[in-house]
Amino acid sequence: MAKKSYVEQDLQLAISDVHNGLSMRKAAKLHGVPTSTIAHRLSGTQNRQTSHQHLQKLSPAQEKSLCSWVVIQNSIGCPPTHAQIKEFAGHIAKQNGYKNYIGTHWMAAFLRRNPDVKNLKGRNLETSRYNGATAESIKHFFTTKIEDPAIKAVKPENRYNMDEIGIVEGLGSNCLVVGSSNKKITIPKNSSSRSWMTILECISATGRPLSPLATFEGKTVQQQRFPVDIDFLDTWYLTASEKVWTNDNFVLVWLKNIFIPQTKPAKEEEKRILIVDGQKCHQTTEFMFECYSNNIHIIFLIPNSSHVLQPLDLAFFGRVKNAYRKELNKLTVIDDSTQFSKALLIECYYKARKASLASKNIIAGWKASGLWPVSMAKPLKNTMTSKLEQLQVTPPEAIATMSEATQSPIQTLESPPHLRPVLKSHSSSIKTSRNFQLSATKTGSPLDKQPMAIAGLDGGNSNFGCENEDLQPRKKRKVSFEPIETAIMCPEITKARREMFKKLDPPGTSARVKNTKFKDMCINWQLNIPEMPDLIFK
């Protein structure tokens, strides 16, 4: 009699035996598969999973691609969550023509259909636990991410590093100056303006820089902030924000408008690598899905290690900041009353960027970081890499000698579970009454339950804290209802200037004012005043 439950592998073995000459009844009995099921499959009937593939919102090829991306992301230490995978699948299903969302049980079915991936227990570590760029963390970073076979196969022209740099308006550098020999120190004048500008920069392993995205402080991009001749900014993207630092929206704008169009590989199936730091704006679902849709793998650097592992820090940021401060100092030397406007800010940074962003400097930065050519020895030899010194461990014999010399009848205990055996040992070694020994034995019982009671109280305090926070009055804060969807470039600024000039119409206004008489400039009631002296019109 055939067993009630069987798997697809049992059925395939039974069909193989039938093809090899075994009767259908014997094959069914041998593998525990119903005879009717074998007959139906031999006649061309498909299994349930294959016959219902047309009802799936994601095709088998799409699920295989998603599964492969998940495996690579997991191997480089950036595994996506269930919610992110479902959201990715929802975007793909929407592109396939499905309007409704992914079902509640889709994730479980996806894991059943794709045995190459499974649920894993993730352990989140705080940034402070990494303790910066240590030798151990760098070794783990290279062995698990950079030397991964899928990542190692990516060509150098498809490897990129992106980060932001902030510059301050009117802040020069402290340097040696020449002055009177009667003084020990002199104080050069400096501008009091401290407006910020944040710029997103990206470089490739072959020495090619991408167009920058500059973010100014303010609600909108104003045309008067830029020089009259702005042709040198023809490849720049410009935007504005009340909070000048990078947020989720600006990074997504940079990814869609700059990175993806300017880094298209020669072959569409080739992968790209984007090396970034661990900011939250680089870990949003929208950012990661856009990378997945364009076959881009994200590699997050070790926290607090950009000074050792990031090519931009090693090759560009230090050079461009020094060159930028030198440009500001030149303006101060020429005229101490120079007002540092945003136009001068852009001009100074453009000159500093042009002088610093050479191809040989970019390649040297990648080489110094060890990310290309891949060399773990480069960051390990860096003088800023922290090497953990070997701690001098006291031998166990010395510890035993010290404990015997300093032993006392009553010792401080580190945890409640240790109390009961210690009390027993002391009560047995010291001659005491039976009542004292009984009391000492019973003392450990309530102290063992103390951690559980404290945990319960902590949970209650946490709940009360949440309720108290909900009852507190909230401060009012204006919500932006018109988010920036894209960055602007020089043609938009030129167009705004033309429209403003057209509305003002300086030549026409000048001609009308020149041909206007005094009587035409007066209001009617002024002209109708009787007995107006002629002196007024002379």
CATH code for the domain in which residue 199 is found = 3.30.420.10
Domain co-membership, 215 together with 333: yes
Which H or E element spans position 240? strand 237-241
Question: In whole numbers, what is the pLDDT of the chain averaged over residues?
Answer: 76
Q: What sign for the dihedral angle of Cα 339, 166, 205, 272?
A: negative
Query: What is the C-alpha to C-alpha distance for residues 185 and 192, in angstroms, rounded to an integer?
Result: 21
Q: Is residue 445 part of a domain?
A: no
Last-in-domain residue among 88, 113, 138:
113
What share of residues in the chain are helix, strand, coil (percent, to 5)?
Answer: 55, 10, 40
Domain co-membership, 253 together with 373: yes
Q: Where residue 119 falls among pLDDT bands split at 50, 70, 90?
A: very high
- Whether the pLDDT of residue 369 is over 90: the answer is yes
Region class of 44: left (phi > 0), else alpha (psi between -120 and 50), else beta: left
- Average of pLDDT values for 516-538? 51
Domain co-membership, 76 together with 215: no
Domain co-membership, 287 together with 342: yes
- For β-strands 296-300 and 272-276, DSSP reports them as parallel
Residue 183 has a pLDDT of 67
Share of the chain above pLDDT 90, in %: 33
Using a 10 angstrom Cβ sphere, with 0-12 exposed, 13-18 middle and 19 or more buried, the burial of residue 367 is: middle
Q: Is residue 341 part of a domain?
A: yes
Contact status, residue 300 vs residue 282, Cβ threshold 8 Å = yes
Residue 184 has a pLDDT of 67
- Whether the pLDDT of residue 399 is over 50: the answer is no
Q: Is residue 532 part of a domain?
A: no
Residue 256 has a pLDDT of 94
Residue 168 has a pLDDT of 78
Q: Is residue 488 part of a domain?
A: no
Q: In this predicted structure, which of 153-162, 444-453, 461-470, 513-522 has the lowest mean pLDDT? A: 444-453
Residue 361 has a pLDDT of 94
Domain co-membership, 156 together with 237: yes
Domain co-membership, 81 together with 198: no
- Exposure on the CB side of residue 475, measured as CA atoms within 13 A: 1
Q: In this predicted structure, which of 48-57, 92-101, 169-178, 402-411 has the lowest mean pLDDT? A: 402-411
Residue-range definition of the domain harbouring residue 34: 8-48
Q: How far is CA 347 from the centre of its chain?
A: 30
pTM over 0.75: no
- Average of pLDDT values for 526-531? 50
Last-in-domain residue among 315, 347, 381:
381
Domain co-membership, 254 together with 289: yes
- Average of pLDDT values for 18-31? 91
Q: Where residue 340 falls among pLDDT bands split at 50, 70, 90?
A: low
CA-to-CA separations, 364 to 110, 165, 461, 473, 488, in angstroms, rounded: 45, 19, 55, 55, 32
Q: Where residue 229 falls among pLDDT bands split at 50, 70, 90?
A: confident
Contact status, residue 466 vs residue 458, Cβ threshold 8 Å = no
Contact status, residue 327 vs residue 315, Cβ threshold 8 Å = no
Last-in-domain residue among 381, 402, 422:
381
Q: Where residue 303 falls among pLDDT bands split at 50, 70, 90?
A: confident
- Average of pLDDT values for 171-175? 54
Domain co-membership, 93 together with 195: no
- Average of pLDDT values for 124-150? 79
Which amino acid, residue 362?
A: I
Closest C-alpha to 225, from 189, 192, 257, 195 = 195
More confident residue, 275 or 477: 275
Contact status, residue 352 vs residue 172, Cβ threshold 8 Å = no
Domain co-membership, 141 together with 25: no
Q: Is residue 472 part of a domain?
A: no
Closest C-alpha to 376, from 130, 73, 137 = 137
Q: Is residue 475 part of a domain?
A: no
b/e map 377-397, b = 16+ CB within 10 Å = ebbbebeebbeeeeeeeeeee
How many structural domains does the chain have?
3
Domain co-membership, 92 together with 202: no
Q: Where residue 329 falls among pLDDT bands split at 50, 70, 90?
A: confident
Domain co-membership, 230 together with 328: yes
Domain co-membership, 362 together with 260: yes
Q: Is residue 490 part of a domain?
A: no
Q: Is residue 247 part of a domain?
A: yes
